[in-house]
């Protein structure tokens, strides 16, 4: 379940996203209805290699670990390669995260390669209370807190990857006019603003592409679905290879054991902390 307490996950849209869209909803929430079909039908790319980083870590992973009370020494850093991309992704996992390395690798391998291309780093941490799933996307990075996915429930990974692809005010300039011509949006969370609507539309649209159907007619959001069909065809989402021209370069690497960072860790708080201007999305229990 995704809760309405969360507002925005992409910092660049804080100033430009509209207020609540005020539409009826196609479904109350997407996960329970769409995850079974997504988990069964999404093309899966198995990852190869592990390439663990033992002494260094991307700076953004280091900073995120410190601000979320995971010791740099507890961070697992590993390079992951997929057969549809010549360059690996570097992922960072706090050893206390409930999502195993293999789960993260596998579910990210279900994300369409065009969306994967716009992701820089994937990070995973525990939640302080050990419950549910929280996430945010910022500067091409996706950060998960808690148990956010498995191979039969990839919708949260799809949603966050869509945020990293939402560039140049696409949701405001292209999606919002379509929303204004429709009577509904995908679910309650999509009603937050056009940024979240686009991310949820990507989940609905991808489900329709891979399963060939929808749980119910989408007439109430036909303009939005037409835009998704026009701009995000199967050939666009699943080209033969990743788009290296949009794949962000890795964050600079730093030493895990830098005494300054160890001291920073000791002084930080313990609640999940996104970058300034970015708010956590609360997905509840992912099913």
Give the whole-angstrom CA distance, residue 134 versus residue 144.
Answer: 6
Is residue 4 situated within a structural domain? Answer: no
What was the pLDDT predicted at 218? 98
In a domain, 246, yes or no: yes
In tens, the pLDDT along 141-183 reads 999 999 998 888 999 999 999 999 998 789 999 999 999 999 9
Tell me whether strands 56-58 and 141-146 are parallel, antiparallel or unpaired.
unpaired
6 inside domain: no
| Backbone torsions φ then ψ of 158, nearest 5 degrees | -65, -45
pLDDT of 258 > 80? The answer is no
Which among 67, 75, 126 has a CA at the least distance from the CA of 96? 126
On whether residue 143 sits in a domain, the answer given is yes
Instruction: Write down the mean pLDDT value for the chain.
Output: 88
What is the three-class DSSP state of 277?
Answer: coil
Cα separation of 166 and 13, whole Å?
A: 10
**Residue 8 confidence (pLDDT):** 32
Q: Percentage helix, strand, coil, to 5, in the chain? A: 40, 15, 45
pLDDT tens digits, one per residue of 203-224: 999 999 999 999 999 999 999 9
The total of other beta-carbon atoms located within 10 Å of residue 231's CB is: 12
Helix (H, G, I), strand (E, B) or coil at 81: strand
Question: Considering the domain boundaries, does residue 3 fall inside one?
Answer: no
265 pLDDT band, cuts 50/70/90, is low
Is 77 inside a domain boundary? yes
**Segments forming the whole domain that contains residue 141:** 11-284
| The pLDDT of residue 5 is above 80 | no
240 located within any domain: yes
* Separation between Cα atoms, residue 117 and residue 218, nearest integer Å: 29
- Total of domains in the chain: 1
Report if residue 1 sits inside a domain: no
What ranges in the chain are assigned the alpha helix state H?
Answer: 31-41, 59-67, 101-108, 113-116, 155-165, 170, 176-181, 194-211, 222-231, 234-237, 259-267
């Amino acid at each position: 379940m995704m809760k309405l307490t969360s507002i925005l996950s992409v910092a660049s849209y804080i100033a430009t996203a509209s207020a609540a869209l005020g539409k009826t909803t196609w479904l109350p929430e997407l996960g329970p209805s769409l995850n079974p079909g997504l988990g069964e039908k999404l093309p899966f790319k198995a990852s190869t290699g592990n390439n663990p980083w033992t002494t260094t870590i991307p700076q953004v992973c280091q900073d995120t670990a410190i601000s979320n009370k995971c010791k740099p020494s507890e961070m697992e850093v590993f390079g992951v390669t997929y057969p549809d991309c010549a360059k690996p992704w570097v992922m960072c996992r706090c050893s206390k995260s409930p999502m195993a390395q293999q789960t993260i690798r596998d579910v990210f391998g279900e994300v369409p390669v065009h969306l994967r291309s716009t992701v820089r780093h994937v990070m995973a941490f525990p939640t302080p209370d050990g419950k549910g799933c929280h996430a945010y996307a910022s500067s091409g990075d996706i950060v998960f807190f808690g148990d956010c996915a498995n191979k039969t429930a990839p919708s949260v990974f799809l949603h966050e990857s869509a945020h990293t692809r939402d560039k140049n005010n696409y949701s405001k300039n292209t999606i919002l006019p379509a929303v204004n011509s429709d009577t509904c949006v995908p679910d309650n969370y999509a009603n937050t603003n056009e940024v979240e609507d686009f991310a949820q539309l990507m989940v609905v649209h991808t489900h329709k592409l891979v399963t060939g159907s929808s749980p119910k007619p989408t007439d109430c959001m036909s303009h939005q679905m037409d835009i998704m069909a026009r701009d995000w065809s199967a050939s666009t989402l699943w080209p033969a290879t990743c788009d290296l021209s949009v794949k962000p370069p890795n964050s600079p690497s730093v030493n895990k054991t830098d005494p300054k960072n160890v001291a920073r860790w000791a002084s930080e708080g313990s609640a999940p902390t996104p970058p300034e201007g970015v708010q956590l999305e609360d997905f509840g229990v992912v099913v």
